[in-house]
A and B are shown apart, each in its own frame.
Chain A
Amino acid sequence: MKSENGERRIYLDNNATTRCDPRVVEAMLPFFTEKYGNSASRNHGFGWEAEEAVEKARTQVAAVIGADAKEIVFTSGATEADNLALKGVAEMYREKGDHIISVPTEHKAIIDTAKHLESLGLKVTWLPVDKEGLIDLDELRRSITEKTILISVMAVNNEVGVIQPLAEIGKIAAEKGVLFHTDAVQAVGKIPIDVNAMGIHLLSMSGHKIYGPKGIGALYVRRRNPRVRVSIQMHGGGHERGYRSGTLAVPLIVGFGKACELAAEDLSSGEIERVRKLRDRLLDGIRARVPESYVNGSLTRRAPNNLNISFAYVEGESLLMGINDIAVSSGSEDLAHTSIRFGLGRFTTEEEVDYTIERLSGIVSRLRELSPLWEMAQEGIDITKVNWQGH
């Protein structure tokens, strides 16, 4: 893909956001200038056609997670969905208990919401993850008390793509009579999700991670077996069955619906297998050319679009500077390791992957030639034992 000034640039940051699929944009367009009615307007055609479009989208969104359309609450994105789930459950089930279980590797939208609830007096248990990034189910079981009302564990991690054992968590939640919420933002369209088979009670999703528009998402709230309720976090006109007031963003919802339809197709059409092959090609290419590169998180229990690799003895900013025509995300850096997150996607091509391998391996070797730490490591010096003076 070319940038405005005609320079080549490659987008491999699809865990951060995605390009809107042209089919999504096409579906949305009429709802700006022709079918611009308020879906809550009950007495004219403009309102009816908007409502019809919203309900169609609701069905599309529900379908990708195996839910019923009535269980979908549209929100402004997954951040809001996460807030509604945690705060809504905490408030609604206050009588039953005051204990929530979550994981330190969650997205900020969960972490900070849970911390806020902690500041209000709720108790939060942060389940540790192992070096693969996975939670321990026995540990989860042991953490549940009489007072536990909610387990919130993300489906797929946004940094390393690790897939948590959702069905097993759902089973434990059902056994113990605790609600199970999952932030499935990074999972939709990447791995099959079925709220019934996995025993999920609440689920957050977002449009812009699945080639839909930004600013739209949804919270799935189970209606049967058991019926789940969340207390209102946005008061007003009573939209979305009272759960979330505010005039519906019809064009965004239509786009989100279309994006969900396409995401479901990715799973059945072989598209996601194409992405997995590209991801593996990227990994194999890097491994073949760059010694001392390590994959972060489980490779086997991992979403097919994500790769997160650490490069030893190379500093992060200088690495990104050398591949500035490739959009990636650079993660934590500890003791001279730089981790790079590659998020591949629907628009990634094999040629782009090969180019990335070329560029990246070139720049890593160049920076290692420049790196006194690499030199020391080659001489057998343990850089953790050096008496660094800092500054």
Chain B
Amino acid sequence: MDEQLKSELRRQGVVATSLQELYNWGRKSSIWPLNFGLACCAIEMIATTMARYDLARFGAEVFRPSPRQADLMIVAGTVTKKMAPQVVRLYNQMAEPKYVISMGACAISGGPFKQGYNVLKGIDRYIPVDVFIPGCPPRPEALLDAFLMLQRKIDEQQLTGPERPRHLQAEQPSEFIVPQYSEHDLIPTRNDTIWHAPLVNISNAGANESGRD
């Protein structure tokens, strides 16, 4: 429907909409996050929900303590290898449609602890992530921005056609492999169906840097 006609109608007190708009509006305006934090970033997440930043303005004030009632997992903090299976299991237990915000350097890549013996190098190795927020920790404004970005993303989704979201495609998985503990590392170390190592050229790394021989 023509946008101009729509706003004209609205002025006359008639609201015209489509099922898709209504559906997306409903989804994006009631994203309930899972009540779940892992490390220092969680403190910023908590601050975001409090009166000063007030995440409630965007319809996400209800932090659910059960994955069954949550739509959004904010992975806020360092994911240790010991915790990673539990994080994936919580994600698997959430009902579709579900979204993930990976908050902070740790959840993105391992952050300051990337080479640590017990730190997962990014939660996107096991579960699909919708929005990444860099920062250590990201400010509450950054989390709000990520939240608005997620809302925009939901708003743009088509309900039909090949581009429709995952939860409307019956053949797409909604559960992902839960890694197992083993003698030296988690098995598997990553889910190859959703994570691929980005191509990086390391042949020049370490050279041309002043102060180095």
A binds B: no
Q: B residues near A, CB below 8 A? A: none
- Mark A residues whose CB is within 8 Å of B: none
